[in-house]
Copies of this chain bind each other. A is one copy, B any other.
Amino acid sequence: MGLIVQKYGGTSVANPERIRHVADRVVKTYEKGYNIVVIVSAMAGITDGLLDLAGQVTSSPDKRELDVLLATGEQTTAALLAMTLRKMNYPACSMLGHQAQVVTDRDFGNARILEIGAPAIEKYLKKRTIVIVAGFQGADVQGNITTLGRGGSDTSAVAIAAALKADVCEIYTDVDGVYTADPNICTNARKIKTISYDEMLNMASLGAKVLQIRSVGFAKKYNIPVHVRSSFNDEEGTMVVSENSGMESLVVSAVTHDKNQARITLNKVPDQPGIAAKIFTPLADKSIIIDMIIQNTHPGGQTDLTFTVPESDYKPALEIAKRIAGEIGAEDAFGYEGIAKVSVIGVGMKNHSGVAATMFTALAAEGINIAMISTSEIRISCVVDEKYTELAVRVLHTAFGLDAD
Protein backbone atom coordinates (compact mmCIF):
# COMPACT_ATOMS: atom_id res chain seq x y z
CA MET A 1 0.00 0.00 0.00
CA GLY A 2 1.08 3.55 -0.57
CA LEU A 3 2.69 6.10 1.67
CA ILE A 4 1.47 9.68 2.03
CA VAL A 5 3.35 12.46 3.78
CA GLN A 6 1.14 15.27 5.07
CA LYS A 7 2.36 18.57 6.41
CA TYR A 8 0.16 20.91 8.44
CA GLY A 9 1.10 24.55 8.88
CA GLY A 10 0.67 26.79 11.91
CA THR A 11 -2.88 27.97 11.23
CA SER A 12 -3.95 24.36 10.59
CA VAL A 13 -2.88 23.38 14.12
CA ALA A 14 -3.54 26.71 15.81
CA ASN A 15 -5.49 25.27 18.77
CA PRO A 16 -6.71 21.95 20.20
CA GLU A 17 -9.89 22.15 18.12
CA ARG A 18 -7.94 22.60 14.89
CA ILE A 19 -5.62 19.76 15.93
CA ARG A 20 -8.64 17.48 16.34
CA HIS A 21 -9.70 18.50 12.85
CA VAL A 22 -6.26 17.55 11.52
CA ALA A 23 -6.49 14.22 13.34
CA ASP A 24 -9.80 13.51 11.57
CA ARG A 25 -8.18 14.21 8.23
CA VAL A 26 -5.18 12.02 9.01
CA VAL A 27 -7.46 9.18 10.07
CA LYS A 28 -9.47 9.45 6.87
CA THR A 29 -6.33 8.82 4.81
CA TYR A 30 -5.13 6.11 7.18
CA GLU A 31 -8.46 4.26 6.92
CA LYS A 32 -8.02 4.13 3.15
CA GLY A 33 -5.05 1.88 3.88
CA TYR A 34 -2.20 4.33 3.38
CA ASN A 35 0.77 4.56 5.67
CA ILE A 36 1.06 8.12 6.89
CA VAL A 37 3.79 10.40 8.13
CA VAL A 38 2.54 13.76 9.39
CA ILE A 39 4.86 16.76 9.69
CA VAL A 40 3.64 19.56 11.93
CA SER A 41 4.56 23.19 12.37
CA ALA A 42 4.34 25.14 15.62
CA MET A 43 0.87 26.34 16.52
CA ALA A 44 0.23 29.75 14.94
CA GLY A 45 1.84 32.52 17.00
CA ILE A 46 4.01 30.21 19.11
CA THR A 47 7.25 30.79 17.22
CA ASP A 48 6.78 34.56 17.45
CA GLY A 49 6.09 34.18 21.16
CA LEU A 50 9.33 32.25 21.65
CA LEU A 51 11.28 34.85 19.67
CA ASP A 52 9.77 37.50 21.89
CA LEU A 53 10.83 35.55 24.98
CA ALA A 54 14.40 35.31 23.66
CA GLY A 55 14.25 39.02 22.89
CA GLN A 56 13.52 39.73 26.55
CA VAL A 57 16.79 38.02 27.41
CA THR A 58 19.03 39.43 24.72
CA SER A 59 18.66 41.33 21.48
CA SER A 60 21.04 38.96 19.71
CA PRO A 61 20.42 35.46 21.07
CA ASP A 62 23.03 32.79 20.53
CA LYS A 63 21.97 30.90 17.43
CA ARG A 64 22.50 27.42 18.85
CA GLU A 65 20.39 28.22 21.90
CA LEU A 66 17.72 29.98 19.86
CA ASP A 67 17.25 26.75 17.91
CA VAL A 68 16.89 24.78 21.15
CA LEU A 69 14.21 27.27 22.18
CA LEU A 70 12.33 27.41 18.87
CA ALA A 71 12.34 23.63 18.49
CA THR A 72 9.93 23.41 21.45
CA GLY A 73 7.16 24.85 19.25
CA GLU A 74 6.94 21.91 16.84
CA GLN A 75 7.63 19.47 19.68
CA THR A 76 4.49 20.73 21.41
CA THR A 77 2.30 20.29 18.32
CA ALA A 78 3.69 16.82 17.58
CA ALA A 79 2.91 15.62 21.11
CA LEU A 80 -0.59 17.11 21.05
CA LEU A 81 -1.48 15.58 17.68
CA ALA A 82 -0.13 12.17 18.71
CA MET A 83 -2.17 12.37 21.93
CA THR A 84 -5.27 13.27 19.96
CA LEU A 85 -4.85 10.31 17.62
CA ARG A 86 -4.20 7.89 20.48
CA LYS A 87 -7.27 9.16 22.27
CA MET A 88 -9.17 8.22 19.07
CA ASN A 89 -7.64 4.74 19.44
CA TYR A 90 -5.27 5.01 16.51
CA PRO A 91 -1.64 3.95 16.89
CA ALA A 92 0.37 7.17 16.71
CA CYS A 93 3.76 8.25 17.87
CA SER A 94 5.58 11.59 17.85
CA MET A 95 9.18 11.92 16.69
CA LEU A 96 11.43 14.93 17.12
CA GLY A 97 13.91 15.92 14.46
CA HIS A 98 16.80 14.00 16.00
CA GLN A 99 14.60 10.94 16.63
CA ALA A 100 13.48 10.93 12.99
CA GLN A 101 17.17 11.20 12.09
CA VAL A 102 16.85 14.46 10.21
CA VAL A 103 20.57 15.17 9.94
CA THR A 104 21.52 18.74 9.03
CA ASP A 105 24.59 20.88 8.77
CA ARG A 106 25.39 23.16 11.72
CA ASP A 107 24.10 26.43 10.26
CA PHE A 108 21.88 27.17 13.26
CA GLY A 109 18.68 28.98 12.34
CA ASN A 110 19.03 28.15 8.68
CA ALA A 111 20.33 24.59 8.58
CA ARG A 112 20.27 22.44 5.46
CA ILE A 113 19.20 18.83 5.54
CA LEU A 114 22.09 16.51 4.69
CA GLU A 115 20.43 13.18 5.15
CA ILE A 116 17.37 11.49 6.59
CA GLY A 117 17.72 8.06 8.15
CA ALA A 118 14.57 6.47 6.79
CA PRO A 119 14.72 3.28 8.94
CA ALA A 120 13.93 5.21 12.13
CA ILE A 121 10.52 6.18 10.71
CA GLU A 122 9.99 3.01 8.70
CA LYS A 123 10.27 0.92 11.86
CA TYR A 124 7.01 2.50 13.05
CA LEU A 125 5.30 2.48 9.65
CA LYS A 126 5.80 -1.28 9.39
CA LYS A 127 3.65 -1.60 12.50
CA ARG A 128 1.01 0.63 10.83
CA THR A 129 1.75 3.40 13.32
CA ILE A 130 0.95 6.96 12.27
CA VAL A 131 4.21 8.85 12.69
CA ILE A 132 4.03 12.52 13.68
CA VAL A 133 7.31 14.32 13.03
CA ALA A 134 8.09 17.73 14.50
CA GLY A 135 8.87 19.85 11.45
CA PHE A 136 11.39 22.68 11.08
CA GLN A 137 13.98 20.89 13.20
CA GLY A 138 16.85 18.46 12.86
CA ALA A 139 20.16 17.72 14.53
CA ASP A 140 23.73 17.92 13.32
CA VAL A 141 26.00 14.87 13.47
CA GLN A 142 27.04 15.82 17.03
CA GLY A 143 23.39 15.85 18.10
CA ASN A 144 23.03 19.63 18.43
CA ILE A 145 19.47 20.74 17.69
CA THR A 146 19.13 22.81 14.53
CA THR A 147 16.24 24.55 12.75
CA LEU A 148 15.70 25.00 9.03
CA GLY A 149 14.58 28.63 8.88
CA ARG A 150 11.11 30.10 8.51
CA GLY A 151 8.77 27.79 6.66
CA GLY A 152 11.26 24.98 7.21
CA SER A 153 8.52 22.48 7.97
CA ASP A 154 7.73 22.39 4.24
CA THR A 155 11.29 21.31 3.61
CA SER A 156 11.10 18.75 6.42
CA ALA A 157 8.02 17.29 4.77
CA VAL A 158 9.42 17.09 1.24
CA ALA A 159 12.76 15.73 2.45
CA ILE A 160 11.07 13.03 4.51
CA ALA A 161 8.79 12.22 1.57
CA ALA A 162 11.89 11.86 -0.60
CA ALA A 163 13.72 9.69 1.93
CA LEU A 164 10.71 7.39 2.32
CA LYS A 165 9.87 7.44 -1.40
CA ALA A 166 6.34 8.63 -0.62
CA ASP A 167 3.67 8.69 -3.32
CA VAL A 168 2.88 12.31 -2.61
CA CYS A 169 3.70 15.07 -0.17
CA GLU A 170 0.56 16.99 0.80
CA ILE A 171 1.15 20.48 2.15
CA TYR A 172 -1.89 21.64 4.13
CA THR A 173 -2.12 25.37 4.62
CA ASP A 174 -4.66 28.16 5.01
CA VAL A 175 -5.02 28.87 1.28
CA ASP A 176 -6.42 26.33 -1.14
CA GLY A 177 -3.63 26.31 -3.68
CA VAL A 178 -1.46 28.41 -5.95
CA TYR A 179 -3.27 31.03 -8.01
CA THR A 180 -2.60 32.54 -11.41
CA ALA A 181 -2.27 35.85 -9.57
CA ASP A 182 -2.90 37.20 -6.09
CA PRO A 183 -6.72 36.94 -5.75
CA ASN A 184 -6.68 39.98 -3.47
CA ILE A 185 -5.76 42.25 -6.36
CA CYS A 186 -6.98 40.23 -9.33
CA THR A 187 -10.54 39.01 -8.91
CA ASN A 188 -10.23 36.96 -12.08
CA ALA A 189 -7.39 34.85 -10.68
CA ARG A 190 -7.86 31.09 -10.97
CA LYS A 191 -6.47 28.28 -8.88
CA ILE A 192 -3.75 26.43 -10.84
CA LYS A 193 -4.39 22.70 -11.02
CA THR A 194 -0.86 21.70 -11.98
CA ILE A 195 2.38 23.65 -12.02
CA SER A 196 5.97 22.63 -12.62
CA TYR A 197 8.74 22.76 -10.04
CA ASP A 198 10.56 25.35 -12.16
CA GLU A 199 7.55 27.60 -12.35
CA MET A 200 7.08 27.39 -8.58
CA LEU A 201 10.75 28.23 -8.09
CA ASN A 202 10.27 31.29 -10.26
CA MET A 203 7.18 32.34 -8.34
CA ALA A 204 9.03 33.06 -5.13
CA SER A 205 7.09 36.20 -4.37
CA LEU A 206 3.69 34.61 -4.90
CA GLY A 207 4.53 31.01 -4.24
CA ALA A 208 6.53 31.51 -1.07
CA LYS A 209 3.32 32.46 0.67
CA VAL A 210 2.10 28.89 0.30
CA LEU A 211 5.29 26.84 0.05
CA GLN A 212 8.83 27.45 1.22
CA ILE A 213 10.90 27.83 -1.94
CA ARG A 214 13.71 25.65 -0.64
CA SER A 215 11.30 22.75 -0.35
CA VAL A 216 10.45 23.06 -4.05
CA GLY A 217 14.09 22.59 -4.97
CA PHE A 218 14.10 19.44 -2.86
CA ALA A 219 10.90 18.18 -4.49
CA LYS A 220 12.36 18.81 -7.95
CA LYS A 221 15.63 17.08 -7.13
CA TYR A 222 13.89 13.93 -5.90
CA ASN A 223 10.83 14.26 -8.17
CA ILE A 224 8.32 14.22 -5.30
CA PRO A 225 4.81 15.34 -6.31
CA VAL A 226 3.72 18.08 -3.92
CA HIS A 227 0.05 18.77 -3.38
CA VAL A 228 -0.58 22.23 -1.92
CA ARG A 229 -4.07 22.35 -0.45
CA SER A 230 -6.23 23.78 2.30
CA SER A 231 -6.80 22.07 5.65
CA PHE A 232 -10.07 24.00 5.93
CA ASN A 233 -11.90 22.20 3.10
CA ASP A 234 -11.72 19.05 0.99
CA GLU A 235 -11.05 20.65 -2.39
CA GLU A 236 -8.15 19.61 -4.58
CA GLY A 237 -5.38 22.17 -4.42
CA THR A 238 -2.40 22.67 -6.73
CA MET A 239 -0.11 19.83 -7.75
CA VAL A 240 3.54 20.79 -8.12
CA VAL A 241 5.17 18.23 -10.41
CA SER A 242 7.87 17.79 -13.00
CA GLU A 243 7.41 19.51 -16.33
CA ASN A 244 6.62 16.34 -18.26
CA SER A 245 3.64 15.33 -16.21
CA GLY A 246 1.00 16.28 -18.76
CA MET A 247 0.42 19.87 -17.73
CA GLU A 248 -1.90 22.50 -19.17
CA SER A 249 -0.30 23.95 -22.25
CA LEU A 250 -0.42 27.60 -21.37
CA VAL A 251 2.29 29.98 -22.47
CA VAL A 252 2.06 31.90 -19.22
CA SER A 253 0.94 30.11 -16.06
CA ALA A 254 0.88 32.96 -13.59
CA VAL A 255 1.44 36.65 -13.00
CA THR A 256 3.28 37.57 -9.83
CA HIS A 257 4.18 40.83 -8.15
CA ASP A 258 6.56 41.88 -5.43
CA LYS A 259 6.32 45.26 -3.76
CA ASN A 260 9.18 44.50 -1.41
CA GLN A 261 11.67 46.06 -3.83
CA ALA A 262 13.84 49.13 -3.84
CA ARG A 263 16.14 50.59 -6.44
CA ILE A 264 19.61 52.02 -5.96
CA THR A 265 21.55 53.92 -8.62
CA LEU A 266 25.23 54.89 -8.69
CA ASN A 267 25.62 57.53 -11.39
CA LYS A 268 28.65 58.46 -13.45
CA VAL A 269 30.65 55.43 -12.41
CA PRO A 270 34.10 55.35 -14.10
CA ASP A 271 33.97 52.55 -16.64
CA GLN A 272 36.94 50.47 -15.51
CA PRO A 273 37.48 46.71 -15.10
CA GLY A 274 36.75 45.42 -11.59
CA ILE A 275 34.37 48.25 -10.70
CA ALA A 276 31.35 45.94 -10.48
CA ALA A 277 33.15 43.69 -8.01
CA LYS A 278 34.03 46.71 -5.87
CA ILE A 279 30.35 47.63 -5.71
CA PHE A 280 28.75 44.24 -5.19
CA THR A 281 31.24 42.47 -2.92
CA PRO A 282 30.54 44.68 0.13
CA LEU A 283 26.80 44.14 -0.41
CA ALA A 284 27.26 40.38 -0.62
CA ASP A 285 29.33 40.51 2.57
CA LYS A 286 26.27 41.87 4.33
CA SER A 287 24.12 39.10 2.80
CA ILE A 288 22.17 41.64 0.76
CA ILE A 289 20.69 39.91 -2.25
CA ILE A 290 20.82 41.85 -5.51
CA ASP A 291 18.05 41.03 -7.93
CA MET A 292 18.23 43.03 -11.19
CA ILE A 293 21.17 45.02 -12.45
CA ILE A 294 21.15 47.55 -15.32
CA GLN A 295 24.04 49.51 -16.71
CA ASN A 296 23.64 52.60 -18.95
CA THR A 297 26.76 53.85 -20.66
CA HIS A 298 27.24 57.59 -21.11
CA PRO A 299 29.14 58.92 -24.11
CA GLY A 300 32.08 60.08 -21.93
CA GLY A 301 33.10 56.57 -20.80
CA GLN A 302 31.02 56.69 -17.63
CA THR A 303 28.09 54.49 -16.72
CA ASP A 304 25.01 54.67 -14.50
CA LEU A 305 24.60 51.45 -12.54
CA THR A 306 21.15 50.61 -11.15
CA PHE A 307 20.20 47.57 -9.12
CA THR A 308 17.31 46.37 -7.00
CA VAL A 309 17.38 45.02 -3.45
CA PRO A 310 14.67 43.81 -1.08
CA GLU A 311 13.05 46.82 0.59
CA SER A 312 14.10 45.49 4.01
CA ASP A 313 17.76 45.81 2.95
CA TYR A 314 17.29 49.24 1.39
CA LYS A 315 18.83 51.38 4.12
CA PRO A 316 22.04 49.41 4.71
CA ALA A 317 22.41 48.88 0.95
CA LEU A 318 22.13 52.60 0.25
CA GLU A 319 24.67 53.41 2.96
CA ILE A 320 27.13 50.98 1.44
CA ALA A 321 26.44 52.30 -2.07
CA LYS A 322 27.13 55.89 -0.98
CA ARG A 323 30.40 54.88 0.63
CA ILE A 324 31.48 52.89 -2.42
CA ALA A 325 30.47 55.75 -4.74
CA GLY A 326 32.98 57.94 -2.95
CA GLU A 327 35.70 55.30 -3.06
CA ILE A 328 35.41 54.57 -6.79
CA GLY A 329 34.91 58.13 -7.95
CA ALA A 330 31.26 57.94 -8.95
CA GLU A 331 29.22 61.13 -8.78
CA ASP A 332 26.68 59.94 -6.24
CA ALA A 333 24.43 57.09 -5.13
CA PHE A 334 20.70 57.52 -4.62
CA GLY A 335 17.74 55.26 -4.25
CA TYR A 336 13.99 54.93 -4.51
CA GLU A 337 11.66 52.65 -2.60
CA GLY A 338 8.51 53.21 -4.60
CA ILE A 339 8.96 50.39 -7.10
CA ALA A 340 7.48 46.95 -7.65
CA LYS A 341 8.40 43.95 -9.74
CA VAL A 342 5.73 42.34 -11.92
CA SER A 343 6.49 39.01 -13.59
CA VAL A 344 4.91 36.56 -15.98
CA ILE A 345 5.96 32.95 -15.54
CA GLY A 346 5.42 29.86 -17.65
CA VAL A 347 7.30 26.87 -18.98
CA GLY A 348 5.35 27.42 -22.22
CA MET A 349 7.58 30.43 -22.91
CA LYS A 350 10.39 28.12 -23.93
CA ASN A 351 8.49 27.25 -27.11
CA HIS A 352 6.72 30.54 -27.78
CA SER A 353 8.05 33.77 -29.17
CA GLY A 354 6.41 37.11 -28.63
CA VAL A 355 5.77 36.78 -24.91
CA ALA A 356 7.92 39.81 -24.11
CA ALA A 357 6.29 41.84 -26.85
CA THR A 358 2.82 40.98 -25.56
CA MET A 359 3.86 41.97 -22.05
CA PHE A 360 5.39 45.31 -23.01
CA THR A 361 2.50 46.18 -25.31
CA ALA A 362 -0.09 45.42 -22.64
CA LEU A 363 1.69 47.58 -20.09
CA ALA A 364 2.28 50.41 -22.55
CA ALA A 365 -1.40 50.43 -23.50
CA GLU A 366 -2.19 51.40 -19.91
CA GLY A 367 0.58 54.00 -19.80
CA ILE A 368 2.69 51.96 -17.38
CA ASN A 369 6.36 52.78 -17.80
CA ILE A 370 8.89 49.97 -17.50
CA ALA A 371 11.98 51.00 -15.53
CA MET A 372 13.95 47.74 -15.65
CA ILE A 373 13.58 44.37 -17.33
CA SER A 374 15.05 40.99 -16.57
CA THR A 375 14.33 37.62 -18.09
CA SER A 376 15.00 33.97 -17.48
CA GLU A 377 14.09 30.93 -19.55
CA ILE A 378 10.58 30.79 -18.13
CA ARG A 379 10.05 34.26 -16.65
CA ILE A 380 9.97 37.91 -17.68
CA SER A 381 10.05 40.55 -14.94
CA CYS A 382 9.49 44.29 -15.22
CA VAL A 383 10.11 46.94 -12.59
CA VAL A 384 7.29 49.49 -12.57
CA ASP A 385 6.21 52.35 -10.36
CA GLU A 386 4.69 50.81 -7.22
CA LYS A 387 1.36 52.60 -7.70
CA TYR A 388 0.77 50.67 -10.93
CA THR A 389 1.31 47.23 -9.38
CA GLU A 390 -2.32 46.08 -9.19
CA LEU A 391 -3.20 47.51 -12.58
CA ALA A 392 -0.19 45.83 -14.17
CA VAL A 393 -1.08 42.44 -12.69
CA ARG A 394 -4.68 42.65 -13.91
CA VAL A 395 -3.69 43.82 -17.38
CA LEU A 396 -1.16 41.00 -17.81
CA HIS A 397 -3.55 38.42 -16.40
CA THR A 398 -6.04 39.35 -19.10
CA ALA A 399 -3.45 39.73 -21.84
CA PHE A 400 -2.19 36.18 -21.35
CA GLY A 401 -5.64 34.64 -21.25
CA LEU A 402 -5.55 33.66 -17.58
CA ASP A 403 -8.85 35.22 -16.54
CA ALA A 404 -11.44 32.88 -15.15
CA ASP A 405 -14.43 32.26 -17.39
Q: CA of A19 to CA of B61 in the docked complex: distance in angstroms?
A: 14
Given contacts A99-B143, A143-B99, contact A54 B68 (CB under 8 A): no
Structural contact, B53 and A80, CB atoms closer than 8 A: yes
Structural contact, B84 and A75, CB atoms closer than 8 A: no
- The A interface is mostly helix, strand or loop, or mixed, namely helix
Judged by a CB distance under 8 angstroms, whether A69 is at the interface is yes
The digit string for A84-114, where 1 denotes a CB below 8 A from any CB of B, is 1011000001101011000000000000000
Judged by a CB distance under 8 angstroms, whether A83 is at the interface is yes
Structural contact, B16 and A57, CB atoms closer than 8 A: yes
Q: CA of A68 to CA of B87 in the docked complex: distance in angstroms?
A: 16
Structural contact, B94 and A80, CB atoms closer than 8 A: no
Given contacts A75-B68, A94-B68, contact A80 B54 (CB under 8 A): yes
The digit string for A52-94, where 1 denotes a CB below 8 A from any CB of B, is 0110111011101110110110011011101110110000011
- List residues of A whose CB falls within 8 A of some B CB: 16, 19-20, 50, 53-54, 56-58, 60-62, 64-66, 68-69, 71-72, 75-76, 78-80, 82-84, 86-87, 93-94, 96, 98-99, 143, 145
Q: CA of A72 to CA of B87 in the docked complex: distance in angstroms?
A: 21
- Residues of chain B lying within 8 A (CB to CB) of residue A64: 82, 93-94
A-B pairs with beta carbons under 8 Å apart, 8 shown: A57-B87, A58-B83, A65-B94, A68-B75, A68-B79, A69-B75, A72-B75, A96-B145
- Residues of chain B lying within 8 A (CB to CB) of residue A143: 99
State the copy count for this chain. Answer: 2
Q: CA of A86 to CA of B108 in the docked complex: distance in angstroms?
A: 15
Given contacts A68-B94, A96-B68, A143-B99, contact A61 B83 (CB under 8 A): yes
Q: CA of A60 to CA of B84 in the docked complex: distance in angstroms?
A: 10
Q: CA of A93 to CA of B62 in the docked complex: distance in angstroms?
A: 10
Q: CA of A219 to CA of B168 in the docked complex: distance in angstroms?
A: 54
- Residues of chain B lying within 8 A (CB to CB) of residue A83: 54, 57-58, 61-62, 65-66, 69
Structural contact, B57 and A19, CB atoms closer than 8 A: yes
- Residues of chain B lying within 8 A (CB to CB) of residue A87: 57-58, 60-62
Residue of B nearest to A43 (CB): B53
Cross-interface CB contact of A58 among B54, B68, B84, B99, cutoff 8 Å: B84
- Residues of chain B lying within 8 A (CB to CB) of residue A62: 82-83, 86-87
